[in-house]
Amino acid sequence: FPVLERLLNEMKSSSVVNKQLTSALARRLLSIAAGATSEVEIDMKEVNLADVCKKCEAKSATLRCQPCNHLCICSACVSQVLPSEEDVDKLMTVKLHMVLPGQSPIYCPDCKQAVMVISLVE
């Protein structure tokens, strides 16, 4: 963090005589910088995990289930969810698959709620 480093350098070059306070302040600035860095890393891990397919856990999820609104299926795994390859092809073309009354239910891989619509998110 350049700003904190600059403040620390200014503090060292200033006329502050109390070495104990200078040392305490330097430790606190380094602690703040370390805390901010670890929070950013945690946030990035949460973002990356949130976008991963819940079936294969390897590819980015590109399909959203409704009404639960979970983005949780990748284009490779959708064939495991939909009843036929024809439905998969249609979903990729039209960007939407609706479960009609009387059809076999589809369940969200994330929350296991019945899905009414699967939409392709680009």
Tell me the per-residue pLDDT of 60-116, one tens digit each, with 9 for 90 and over.
899 999 999 999 999 999 999 999 999 999 999 999 999 988 888 999 999 999 999
pTM of the complete model = 0.58
Distance between CA atoms of residues 20 and 11, nearest Å: 13
Q: Does residue 4 sit in helix, strand or coil?
A: helix
Q: Please tell me which residue, 15 or 59, carries the higher pLDDT value.
A: 59
Q: Which helix H or strand E contains 25, and what residues bound it?
A: helix 19-50
Distance between CA atoms of residues 35 and 15, nearest Å: 28
